Structure 1
């Protein structure tokens, strides 16, 4: 198995995908040597998943794991025997660390010790995505006018990734970041071009050929946009566009043919991802809207108005029997999880429940998500500028559409669910953690530790594991070319 080092690991999306790759003989292609992550709850998630992985690969009982994630037993009740042994061993692989110049010595020491457990000069892989808030369009928008934005250290956390490249010279690396990296600037300089220039001038002199996973072109002729991967093109039920750099060390690059990901035959839709989950309803929040409106009356009036307009049939794509759908289903489902966990909706205000029901009805009729300005005025949010021309964020209430991939599941889902309204009118709520996880392609047997807000945060910050698996298969095939 090829050693894997995971930086800025989050809850383990990249790692889960790579760790699921198998060789032609059925053996696993990668073995996680170390994961580094600063968030405490994400580290707990990583460690629990490493425990599951250890038990599964060793052919040991997973009963305790499933009893815990499905709520049948407490941690105290399952923390014994082989489960306890596996959990203790997982602590050797998951490290809560803040990557930075102050921690380099310690992290270098840990990585060096892990790599020494393998044959000298054995091929290995570095994966990870430096935090993206400084590059994301949403993050930049929120910090417009911030005098400290240009000097934010988060712009430069990629240098910690490059330091590991320079110090340990992995055979192949995979670096992921948001699409906004291509348009982000630090002063007058493009952050993408700055990162590429730094990659080409590592202090030790080691060099990498930077390849695209979607365009089969000479690396010297690639454009920045050639590094964008659209997840919905590869069987992920979500329109998530990310920059992924695949680096092959220059001394072995001539031995490894270029490879790209294979596009899915059809999109995987929200319907395909969520329709089989149990229907659940949200409780009413204790918060009281400022306006004194009879929301039931307002909702019925709006629905009556829609009924009088008639219905517009929206074509449903015949994708439920596609290869992409079958691959997704096999990846997501687990017979040991008949009813997935973490599928409890958060509470909502009465006013929002009314809006959700009406907007879900409108979305079904229109085949797309309406803006809140499409609602009758009585159902508009209680904001002073809501009716003014040029009001921003008119899509702050967004119903996800059944027969298309969802919009990007972002970490903002941890703050509110208005962008992630369930398409079924009779459920009238935002997505649950499990629904967000399914759209991110985390298997139903994947469990996120921490309070619900932190669970959402982890899911939104992850790389879709099913996409990561496909990247891992390309990398494994490349490494096999060296071995052969």
Structure 2
């Protein structure tokens, strides 16, 4: 397997977790390429982790992620030195489209050797395809937006296909690419046409992972995978293309005889935020732009009901009572967390057993990246209101539901159209979260914790749980950089399910 635009390794993690009937790993990551130096450090660290059998990871890895030893000490440790050297050949820090193609081709050629049945995975950067990205970039400079090279980074993916003809490819991107245009033409149509026929003597059948239709019958929306249908505690909808080299497709009877084998299965019940976050220690948030203490934080929460004065809706009484109740409960939350919190993680019956097996690692002995942000006092008032509104009304409010005194300064409650009306968004405990995106690194307003007594945005670990990264997955960099890596990733547990389908295809009987 080769992974392009790998980020912190979500696709790699999922595919590497797939095992065959004998219990052996179904995929070997030979090359993964990521341009961001910090995400690459995360990718490299996880490559070292994966080089050991499950349960056999050396204790020095845990010492490092807990902060007991430095990265240099870890990499030089006798127990991982060989694995680190191997990982450095696998995880490459390079920007596709900038680095000379010959260098990339050399890495891949050395990695795959004479293999013809191998898998290419990856998701080219999506800023130019996403709705928010298009709006922001167009607003700045239309001509610059049209010429943005990120529209065409998929051509680097295409070039590898053209050069090496993998048996299968899996390409992931945002749903916005379906209606994104460049020079008046739909980009998705061009991408599909290019991927179906990379060169005159090479063609691919591009299948959906969720809709049972033949290649020529598929509509653009048929390629959209809704992650929350497949056990991911997040409403993340992404375009995922499953490309099969035409000669292999024609030689695999199961594709036509049992096509449902190669579709993702819907789960009978969706996983909610509270189930995914179960077992993580409750934390208080912190105050920004003023001295912080537990007492000052409690006082700030106690002030929040005063912001409801003049708001004359019938539901005010219920929300005000809830705000007072949860402010009292908040007194129990003394800690704002730490990069590592020692202690047992016991989600109990609140989390499905299969998720417990996926997330938890007893050897870790605690929780990584579980530390809260600082929030301005005015935002804390909005957070506790939004969370109490959701707790009492059973739906998340938007700015149209906010009392006038809690609206941001630039918003007028009398305006017919309020821009960014979901600017402060509480996550509902019994439902999958909204999409975790890289914007979470800028502020936490879209990711308010469902528990009003904690009155805060999500920690890096909580965001990672919603993205289904195992608890022992360590993200390098500052907290802001960690948030960005989590938001840019593919959910590993979804990637594992896709990888299982790919392995099923790769090991299916072929006609001679």
TM-score > 0.5, shorter chain as reference: yes
Q: Output the CA distance in 2 between the equivalents of 1:219 and 1:311.
A: 56
Corresponding residue for residue 279 of structure 1: 282
Question: Relative to structure 2, which stretch is displaced further, 167-176 or 381-390?
Answer: 381-390
User: Which residue does 2:263 correspond to in 1?
Assistant: 260
Partner SS for 1:252: helix
Match for 1:125 among 119, 122, 139? 119
| Counterpart Cα distance in 2 of 1:457 and 1:214 | 28
Task: Please report how far the alpha carbon of residue 187 of structure 1 lies from its aligned counterpart in structure 2 after TM superposition.
Answer: 1.8
Quote the offset at 1:77 in angstroms: 4.4
1:239 and 2:227 aligned? no
- The separation in 1 between residues aligned to 2:435 and 2:378, in whole angstroms, is 25
Given the alignment, which residue of 61, 81, 85 partners 1:84?
81
Structure 1 distance, partners of 2:162, 2:469, is 32
In the other structure, the counterpart of 2:455 is 428
Is 2:202 aligned against 1:199? Answer: no
Match in the other structure for 2:138: 144
Name the SS of the counterpart of 1:466 in structure 2.
helix
From 293, 302, 306, give the equivalent of 1:301: 306
Q: What is aligned with 2:16?
A: 19
Count of residue pairs the alignment pairs up? 465
Normalised TM-score (structure 1): 0.91
Partner residue, 1:63: 59
Distance apart, 1:330 and its partner CA: 1.4
1:168 corresponds, among 164, 167, 182, to 164
Q: Contact 2:196–2:206 (CA<8 Å) still a contact in 1?
A: no
**How many angstroms apart in 2 are the aligned matches of 1:409 and 1:216?**
28
User: TM (normalized to structure 2)?
Assistant: 0.86
1:10 is aligned, of 7, 11, 17, to 7
Q: Does the 8 A contact of 1:302 with 1:358 survive in 2?
A: no
CA distance in 1, matches of 2:58, 2:165: 37
Q: What's the secondary structure of 1:92's corresponding residue?
A: helix
> Is 1:44 aligned to residue 41 of structure 2?
yes
Residue matched to 1:316: none
Q: Identify which range, 100-109 or 169-178, moves more after superposition.
A: 100-109
- For residue 362 of structure 2, give the secondary structure of its aligned residue in structure 1: coil
For the residues of structure 2 that align with 1:101 and 1:338, how far apart are their CA atoms?
A: 42
Instruction: Assess, with a 3 A threshold, how the Cα gap between structure 1 residues 428 and 101 changes in structure 2: closer, same or farther.
Output: closer
Distance 1:160 1:401 in 2: 39
Q: Which residue of 1 aligns with 2:105?
A: 108
Deviation at 1:85, TM superposition (A): 2.5
Q: Which moved more, 1:366-375 or 1:258-267?
A: 366-375
2:384 is the alignment partner of 1:357:
yes
1:448 aligns with 2:475: yes
- For residue 388 of structure 1, what is the aligned residue in structure 2? 415
- Structure 2, gaps ≥5 residues long: 292-298, 323-347
SS in structure 1 at match of 2:364: coil
In the superposition, relative to structure 1, how do residues 204 and 454 fare at CA in structure 2: closer, same or farther (>3 Å)?
A: farther
Cα 1:321–1:212, aligned 2, differ >3 Å: closer, same or farther? Answer: farther
Deviation digits for residues 120-168 of structure 1, max 9, x if unmatched? 3441000000001100011012123422111100000000000000100
CA contact (8 A) 2:116 2:166 kept: no
Q: Which residue of 1 aligns with 2:330?
A: none
